[in-house]
């Protein structure tokens, strides 16, 4: 995992730069993405505490879901970006699969799966997917 600070021009970013983390796309990189999110949130919380305790956990959960989907459905590397916004956190995950995610039926008796995309849409205030020939960017905004 390689991380680098990234800036932007939102008010919170004056105190907290965004973060970019690059991963090879291996299963252990899901944990690496979660750790990168935790490090970013620790820095953000020192500058601007979350409005509610669940904000932190929701962001980490969404990063875990996005990274897990990238490892499972998009061969190759992925890039995670986190940046503060005026009222939350913008998370972008770029992977190598240009196909936009689609909801699947959830069948708990069949071994799980199918709940992640529904969860992302439930917890995030905005969700968008930008596809291109070389992959896609999934953008989500969460409250902080």
The terminus-to-terminus CA distance of the chain in angstroms comes to 25
User: In residues, how long is the chain?
Assistant: 144
Q: Residue 6: its pLDDT value, please?
A: 42
Lowest mean pLDDT among 67-76, 98-107, 132-141: 98-107
Q: Is the pLDDT of residue 89 over 70?
A: yes
pLDDT of 113 reads 74
pTM: 0.86
Domains and CATH numbers, the chain: 19-101+112-143 (3.30.565.10)
Closest by CA position to 23, among listed 74, 76, 99, 73: 76
For 32, the 3-state DSSP assignment is helix
- At residue 88, the pLDDT reads 96
State how far the Cα of 18 lies from the Cα of 55, in Å rounded to an integer.
Answer: 17
Torsion angle of alpha carbons 122, 116, 61, 53, nearest 10°?
20
């Amino acid at each position: 995992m390689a991380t680098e600070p990234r800036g932007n021009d939102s008010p919170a970013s004056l105190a907290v730069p965004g973060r970019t983390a690059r991963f090879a796309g291996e299963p252990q990189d899901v944990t690496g993405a979660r750790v990168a999110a935790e490090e970013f949130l620790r820095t953000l919380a020192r500058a601007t505490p979350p409005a509610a305790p669940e904000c932190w956990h929701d962001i980490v959960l969404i990063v875990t879901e996005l990274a897990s989907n990238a490892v499972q459905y998009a061969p190759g590397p992925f890039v995670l970006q986190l940046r503060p916004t005026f009222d939350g956190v913008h998370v972008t995950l770029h992977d190598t699969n240009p196909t936009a995610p689609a909801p699947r039926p959830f069948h708990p008796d069949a071994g799980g799966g199918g709940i992640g995309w529904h969860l992302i849409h439930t917890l995030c205030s905005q969700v968008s997917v930008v596809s291109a020939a070389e992959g896609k960017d999934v953008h989500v905004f969460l409250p902080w």
